[in-house]
Amino acid sequence: MQSEDAPSVPTDWTRSISYQSRATARPTAADLRELVSKAEARNQTLGVTGMLLYDKGRFFQTLEGPPRAIETLWTSIRSDPRHTDIEVLSEHVIPSRLFGGWNLLGYHGDEVPEATLRQAKAEHELTGEIPQFIDLVLNGDDIGINRKIAALIESGWKGDLILTHLIEPTARALGDAWLSDDCSELDLAIGLSMLQLAGHAIVHDPTPAKLRTSQYRILLATAPGEPHMLGTSLLADLFTDAGWNVDMAFPDSNQALANQLAAQQPDAVDIGLSDALSRKNSLALLRRTIERSRFAAPDHLTVVSVGGRLFSEAAATAENVGADYARKTVAGASIRIAELIRLKRQEHRQT
């Protein structure tokens, strides 16, 4: 591994390493549980996140954290007699964690559920694409971006996974690069609009028929004073593909948003903070925006959804801001919000 003292690597960056290996003896469920619980405790102390999978005699692990902590951990893991044939699959240094909310996950048994495996594989394989994707995005290479997305779709990647594990994390990495002065504000703006273009190339997973005919109306808004387009644009494509009536709003004040809500009376409103930057002080403002929005048409039932980096990294919840729903990703949002609309109406009928 490259030393953390290398001058090109700021010490506050995150080192990430992924490897696979072969178990020397087939571990029992109890062995795996013990391994995971000890590893989890030590990783927490070291500030390391990531995941560990065990499937049919093979381990797969991604670790990320402070370079020095990864170095220490890797020295232990590499010489652990419980596995052999260790093959490093990827290793990089990045300005931000890509597994933000993850801790160590262990699977007790030989059979990992198919969906979990697919999800973990997407985390790993698409995460590995991010550094190259950032280059394309920062160079404004729209042809390269479209080619990349087309190639991923061609090789079977579902749109939802590309959104959640490539496009949205790239936005967060760009935000971090801007914060740490590794790119200019103009680079960030160009990068985010390139990601918006990439989002248009995504084909969304088909919506179940009963939700397709719902004809719900949603107002997609940016939080007042937080002009950004990426999340709103990705959502607009997704909801339109799912057959919703979509309106957009880029209000400059709570009053402007309330006026639009009162005039349009949508079934749901989504208010988005930036997908790239996590500004905690925007939460208090968002809470006020939502309070104000709920008064805009008090007799009309409106589901209030929120999104943005603070929510995707679980740094904030729907309750923190008085919303009905906080989306961690744009993927799946139309299905979840349709359910909430139905639920809210059902509750209203029963009261």
Ligand X SMILES: Cc1cc2nc3c(=O)[nH]c(=O)nc-3n(C[C@H](O)[C@H](O)[C@H](O)COP(=O)(O)O)c2cc1C
Beta carbon nearer to ligand X, 103 or 259:
103
Exactly one of 34, 80, 291, 339 binds ligand X (CB under 6 A); that residue is: 80
Stretch that binds ligand X, among 9-17, 70-78, 186-194, 246-254 (CB under 6 A): 70-78
Please report how close the Cβ of residue 204 comes to ligand X at its closest, in angstroms: 35
**Helices 333-350 and 230-241: angle between axes, nearest 10 degrees:** 70
Q: How far apart, in Å, are the Cα atoms of 36 and each of 103, 124, 297, 327?
A: 10, 19, 51, 29
Stretch that binds ligand X, among 74-82, 154-162, 251-259, 294-302 (CB under 6 A): 74-82
Please report how close the Cβ of residue 64 comes to ligand X at its closest, in angstroms: 11
253 binds ligand X (CB under 6 A): no
Please report how close the Cβ of residue 110 comes to ligand X at its closest, in angstroms: 15
Please report how close the Cβ of residue 112 comes to ligand X at its closest, in angstroms: 14
Residue whose structure tokens are 């959804």: 305
61 binds ligand X (CB under 6 A): yes
Distance CA 281, CA 186 (A): 23
Query: Count of residues binding ligand X (CB under 6 A)?
Result: 16
In the shown chain, the binding pattern of residues 102 to 121 toward ligand X, with x for contact by CB under 6 A and - for none, equals: --x-----------------
Stretch that binds ligand X, among 37-45, 187-195, 278-286, 287-295 (CB under 6 A): 37-45
43 binds ligand X (CB under 6 A): yes
Beta carbon nearer to ligand X, 106 or 144:
106
Give the residue among 147, 153, 154 at the shortest CA–CA distance from 133: 147
Per DSSP, which regions of the chain are E strands? 14-23, 49-55, 58-65, 83-94, 217-222, 245-249, 268-272, 303-307, 325-326
Q: 305 with 334: CB under 8 angstroms? A: no
Which amino acid is it at 77?
I
Give the residue among 120, 293, 95, 113 at the shortest CA–CA distance from 177: 95
Beta carbon nearer to ligand X, 63 or 188:
63
Please report how close the Cβ of residue 328 comes to ligand X at its closest, in angstroms: 24
Stretch that binds ligand X, among 36-44, 105-113, 202-210, 228-236 (CB under 6 A): 36-44
Query: Percent helix, strand and coil across the chain, each rounded to 5?
Result: 50, 15, 35
Count of Cβ atoms closer than 10 Å to residue 67 Cβ: 21
Beta carbon nearer to ligand X, 29 or 150:
29
CA dihedral 163, 167, 169, 171 (to 10 degrees): -140
Stretch that binds ligand X, among 69-77, 89-97, 138-146, 287-295 (CB under 6 A): 69-77
Exactly one of 26, 33, 82, 345 binds ligand X (CB under 6 A); that residue is: 82
99 binds ligand X (CB under 6 A): no
Sheet of strand 49-55: strand arrangement: 49-55, 58-65, 14-23, 83-94
Q: 198 with 321: CB under 8 angstroms? A: no
Q: Which residues of 82-113 are buried (b: 16+ CB within 10 A; e: fewer)?
A: ebeebeeeeebbbbbbbbbeeebebbeeeebe
Exactly one of 73, 126, 167, 171 binds ligand X (CB under 6 A); that residue is: 73
Please report how close the Cβ of residue 39 comes to ligand X at its closest, in angstroms: 3
Please report how close the Cβ of residue 66 comes to ligand X at its closest, in angstroms: 14
Cα separation of the two ends of the chain:
63
Distance CA 175, CA 191 (A): 10
Exactly one of 51, 77, 201, 219 binds ligand X (CB under 6 A); that residue is: 77
Please report how close the Cβ of residue 23 comes to ligand X at its closest, in angstroms: 8
Binding site for ligand X (CB under 6 A): 21, 35, 39, 42-43, 52, 59, 61, 63, 73, 76-77, 80, 82-83, 104
